[in-house]
C-alpha cells in the first residue's frame, strides 16, 4: 500500500511539463542581467510521518525559520552528504528550501523588465513560491524550469523577495527514473511507518537543488528561442535558423553570425532563414582536427519598431557540423568518427550531484589527458554548463534522458510514456543547439524484451526524430539481440555487456568468444553500426593480485585489454565506438555487491588514476593517431 502522504502531494500536482516556450541558457547582454542565488539557503526536511506537514501548515506562507528549526544548506548541492544525520542522508519525501533576495530597485521600478526565476535542476518534483504565492511546479530531476515573477515582486517593493522551493525525491512507477515505495507492515520486524524507496538503477538517488538558481531579466519584448541546424557544401557553411520572439506583435530583427574574431561572416533581418558562410571553419571533435570545437556566434538583436534602438540581444554559440549514420559508420562532417570515450556520472564527495566548477574542469582535464573524444551522459541529462564545455573543447556527447531502470511492466503504460515523451520535449528544447550533442539516447537497459516495449520505443523514437530530424536516436540495450523489441527502431545499436564479471565471474578467457558472438549476433540481425556503450570491472584502488582476481586493479586491466582486442578486429567492420564503464567511481545505494559505491571507475571518486587509466590512455591516444588528424604537440606518445 502506498500511503498518500509521501506521494499524495505528488499526485495532486501531476501537471505535465509543457514545452510552449524556449529555454535559452540565461546570459548577460546589453539588454539582460543575471543574478545568481547560489550560496546558503534555509533548509528543513519534512520528517512528519506522512511528509505532508509543510503543506498542511503552509510553510511557504511565512519565513521557513518561523515554522520550525532550519539548517544551512548550500545550493547547488545534494543535501544527502552535507550533515551527519543518517535520516537526512536516506530521506524520502519533501524538503523545503528558502532564501530571501534583494532585487535591484531598477528591476522593480521598470515595468518593462521581465524578471525570471530559473532553477537549473532540482531532484525530483519541485514546487516554487515567491512571497507565499505559487509560481510554478515541475516534474523531473535533471532539466531546468522557470517562472516570470515580475508582477509578484512589484506588489510590495519594500519587502525582500522570499523564494521557497519544496523538493520531493520520491520515485514511483511513473517517474523517470521509476521506483516504488514499499511499506513494511510486519510490526515484529519494522517500526511503525517504516518504508523504503526501491530503485532499479545503480547510482545513489541524490536529491535537492542540484544546479544554479538565478534571477535574470529580459525586456518585455524578447528573444524567446533560437533553433539552428547546420550543414555545409564544399567550402560553404549553412546555418539554418529560426528565432521566436515573445511580447511583440511584429519583430524587427538583426541576425549576425560572427567568427571567433567577432568579424561578421553573414547576416539577415529575417526571423528564419539560411546564413551562408564562405570558407567555413567546421566544428570538429577533439583529436580529429587540429582546431577542434570551433564556434561562431549568432547574435540576435530584436530592434524597436523604428529600428533605431535594440530591445533585446541574445548571442548563441554555433558550431557548424553534420552528423550521419550508415550501416557501418558514424560520420561527422562526412568523415568516420570512432567514439573512444567514457560514461560518466554527476557525482562527487560531499556535493553528491551538485554542480561544482572545480570538479567539471578537473574532469575535462582528465578526459583530455586520457585521450577521450566523447562521453555519454549516463543516465540523465547533465548540466547545460557541461555541454557548453563540450562544445568549446570538441568533446562529443551522447545525450541521455533519465529513462533508466524501466524494468517493471507497469512503467510501460500510457502515463509513463506520456511523461517520457514530455521529458524528451524538454531535453531536445534545451540541448538542440549544442554541436557536441550528436545522438539522443532515450533509455538505458530497459526491459526491452517485454511485449509493451515495442510500442513504447517505436513511439518514443519516432517522437524524438520528429523533434529533431538531424540527429540519430538510440537506447542502450543489455537484452538478448533476438528478443529486444526496440532495436528495429534505433539508428545505432548501443550494447552494454560485462563478460567475466556478471556472467562467468573470474573467467577472463570467455571474453574473446562471448564478445565476438555479441557483435556478430547484433550486426547479423540488424545491420546497424554498434557502440560498446558499457564494459568494465570493479577495482578497489590499491588491491592487487597476480594471477588477477576480481576487484583487483590487475583484473580490471585484463578485462579492458581483452575487450580491446575484440574491438580492434570489429572496428574495421561495423563497431563505431567504445565507452568505458566508468570514468570514475561513484556512489550507489547500499547493497551486498557495492563497497561504498560502484568501483568500476578508471579514476577513483577523488579523480586519481587506477592502473586501468593508463591502459586506456595508451589506447585512446593510439586510436586518435590512427583515426584523427593530430597537431604535432599531441603526437603519440604524448607528453600531456
Ligand atoms: C550497467 C548499468 C550501470 C551500472 C553497471 C554496473 O547500465 O548503470 O552501474 O551496469 O553494474 O548495467 O556497474
Instruction: Locate 188 and state its grid cell.
Output: 515484529
Pocket of ligand 1 (CB under 6 A): 202, 379, 444-445, 478, 496, 534, 581, 598, 600
- Domain 338-627, second-level architecture: Alpha-Beta Barrel (3.20)
| Residue-level pLDDT at 629 | 66
Q: Of 417, 383, 18, whose CA–CA distance to 178 is shortest?
A: 417
Query: SS3 of 625, please?
Result: helix
Residue from 380, 415, 383 nearest 401 by CA:
380
Nearest CA to ligand 1 atom 4: 202
The reported pLDDT for the residue numbered 136 is 98
| Coil, helix or strand at residue 293 | coil
Ligand 1 atom with least separation from CA of 586: 9
Within 171-215, residue ranges assigned H as helices are none
Q: Can 384 be counted among the known catalytic residues?
A: no
Cα-to-centroid distance, 337 and ligand 1 (Å): 25
Q: 535 CA distance to ligand 1 centroid (A)?
A: 9
Closest CA to 283 of 255, 331, 315, 318: 318
Domain boundaries, given as residue ranges, for the chain: 33-169+205-218, 222-318, 338-627
What is the model's pLDDT at position 233? 98
* pLDDT at 634 (0 to 100): 60
User: Which residues, given as ranges, of the chain have pLDDT below 70?
Assistant: 1-19, 629-640
Q: Active site residue: 146, 400, 445, 553, which one?
A: 445
Whose cell is 521566436? That residue is: 244
Which neighbouring-strand residues pair with 461? none
pLDDT score for 123? 98
Whether 300 and 315 have beta carbons less than 8 Å apart is answered as: yes
Over 82-113, what HEC string results? CCCCHHHHCCCCEEEEEEEECCCHHHHHCCCE
In this predicted structure, what is the pLDDT of residue 517?
A: 98
Residue 463 φ then ψ, to 5°: -60, -45
Task: Name the residue with the closest Cα to ligand 1, atom 6.
Answer: 202
33-169+205-218 folds as Jelly Rolls (2.60.120)
Distance (Å) from CA 144 to ligand 1 centroid: 26
Give the per-residue pLDDT at 59: 98
CATH number of 222-318: 2.60.40.10
Spatial separation of the C-alpha atoms in residues 394 and 283, rounded to whole Å: 7
pLDDT of residue 119: 98
Amino acid at each position: 500500500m502506498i500511503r498518500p502522504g509521501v506521494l499524495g502531494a505528488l499526485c495532486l500536482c501531476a501537471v505535465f511539463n509543457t514545452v510552449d516556450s524556449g529555454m535559452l541558457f540565461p546570459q548577460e547582454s546589453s539588454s539582460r542581467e543575471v543574478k545568481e542565488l547560489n550560496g546558503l539557503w534555509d533548509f528543513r526536511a519534512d520528517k512528519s510521518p506522512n511528509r505532508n506537514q509543510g503543506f498542511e501548515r503552509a510553510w511557504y506562507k511565512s519565513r521557513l525559520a518561523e515554522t520550525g528549526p532550519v539548517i544551512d544548506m548550500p545550493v547547488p548541492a545534494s543535501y544527502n552528504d552535507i550533515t551527519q544525520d543518517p535520516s537526512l542522508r536516506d530521506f524520502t519525501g519533501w524538503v523545503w528550501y528558502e532564501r530571501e533576495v534583494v532585487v535591484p530597485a531598477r528591476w522593480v521600478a521598470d515595468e518593462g523588465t521581465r524578471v525570471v526565476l530559473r532553477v537549473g535542476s532540482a531532484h525530483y518534483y519541485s514546487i516554487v513560491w515567491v512571497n507565499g504565492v505559487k509560481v510554478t511546479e515541475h516534474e523531473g530531476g535533471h532539466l531546468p524550469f522557470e517562472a516570470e515573477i515580475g508582477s509578484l515582486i512589484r506588489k510590495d517593493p519594500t519587502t525582500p523577495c522570499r523564494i521557497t522551493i519544496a523538493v520531493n525525491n520520491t520515485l514511483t512507477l511513473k517517474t523517470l527514473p521509476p521506483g516504488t515505495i514499499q511499506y513494511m507492515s510486519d510490526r515484529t520486524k519494522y517500526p511503525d511507518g517504516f518504508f523504503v524507496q526501491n530503485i532499479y538503477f545503480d547510482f545513489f538517488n541524490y536529491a535537492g537543488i542540484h544546479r544554479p538558481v538565478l534571477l535574470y531579466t529580459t525586456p518585455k519584448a524578447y528573444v524567446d528561442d533560437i533553433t539552428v541546424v547546420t550543414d555545409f557544401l564544399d567550402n560553404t557553411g549553412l546555418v539554418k535558423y529560426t528565432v521566436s520572439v515573445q511580447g511583440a506583435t511584429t519583430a524587427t530583427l538583426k541576425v549576425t553570425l560572427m567568427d571567433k574574431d567577432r568579424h561578421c561572416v553573414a547576416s539577415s533581418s529575417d526571423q528564419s532563414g539560411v546564413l551562408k558562410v564562405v570558407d567555413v571553419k567546421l566544428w570538429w571533435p577533439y583529436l580529429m582536427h587540429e582546431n577542434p570545437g570551433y564556434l561562431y556566434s549568432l547574435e540576435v538583436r530584436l530592434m524597436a519598431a523604428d529600428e533605431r534602438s535594440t530591445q533585446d540581444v541574445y548571442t548563441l554559440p554555433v558550431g557548424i557540423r553534420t552528423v550521419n549514420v550508415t550501416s557501418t559508420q558514424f560520420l561527422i562532417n562526412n568523415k568516420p568518427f570512432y567514439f573512444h570515450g567514457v560514461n560518466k556520472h554527476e557525482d562527487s564527495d560531499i556535493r553528491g550531484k551538485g554542480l561544482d566548477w572545480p570538479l567539471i574542469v578537473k574532469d575535462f582535464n582528465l578526459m583530455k589527458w586520457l585521450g577521450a573524444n566523447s562521453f555519454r551522459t549516463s543516465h540523465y541529462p547533465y548540466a547545460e554548463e557541461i555541454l557548453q564545455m563540450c562544445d568549446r573543447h570538441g568533446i562529443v556527447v551522447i545525450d541521455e534522458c533519465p529513462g533508466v531502470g524501466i524494468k517493471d511492466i507497469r512503467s510501460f503504460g500510457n502515463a509513463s510514456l506520456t511523461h517520457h515523451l514530455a521529458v524528451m520535449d524538454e531535453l531536445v528544447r534545451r540541448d538542440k543547439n549544442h554541436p557536441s550533442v550528436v545522438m539522443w539516447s532515450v533509455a538505458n537497459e530497459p526491459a526491452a524484451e517485454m511485449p509493451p516495449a515495442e510500442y513504447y520505443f517505436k513511439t518514443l523514437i519516432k517522437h524524438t526524430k520528429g523533434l529533431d530530424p538531424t540527429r540519430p536516436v538510440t537506447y542502450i540495450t543489455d537484452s538478448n539481440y533476438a528478443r529486444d523489441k526496440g532495436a528495429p527502431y534505433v539508428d545505432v545499436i548501443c550494447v552494454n555487456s560485462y563478460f567475466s564479471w556478471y556472467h562467468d565471474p573470474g573467467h577472463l578467457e570467455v571474453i574473446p568468444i562471448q564478445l565476438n558472438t555479441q557483435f556478430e549476433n547484433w550486426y547479423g540481425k540488424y545491420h546497424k553500426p554498434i557502440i560498446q556503450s558499457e564494459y568494465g570491472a570493479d577495482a578497489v584502488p590499491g588491491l592487487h593480485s597476480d594471477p588477477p582476481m576480481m576487484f583487483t586493479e590487475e583484473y580490471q586491466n585484463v578485462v579492458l585489454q581483452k575487450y580491446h582486442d575484440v574491438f580492434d578486429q570489429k572496428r574495421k567492420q561495423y563497431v563505431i565506438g567504445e565507452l568505458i564503464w566508468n570514468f570514475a567511481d561513484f556512489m550507489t545505494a547500499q547493497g551486498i555487491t557495492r563497497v561504498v559505491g560502484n568501483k568500476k571507475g578508471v579514476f577513483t571518486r577523488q579523480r586519481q588514476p587506477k592502473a586501468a587509466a593508463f591502459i586506456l590512455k595508451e589506447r585512446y591516444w593510439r586510436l586518435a593517431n590512427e583515426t584523427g588528424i593530430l597537431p604535432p604537440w599531441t603526437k603519440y606518445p604524448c607528453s600531456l
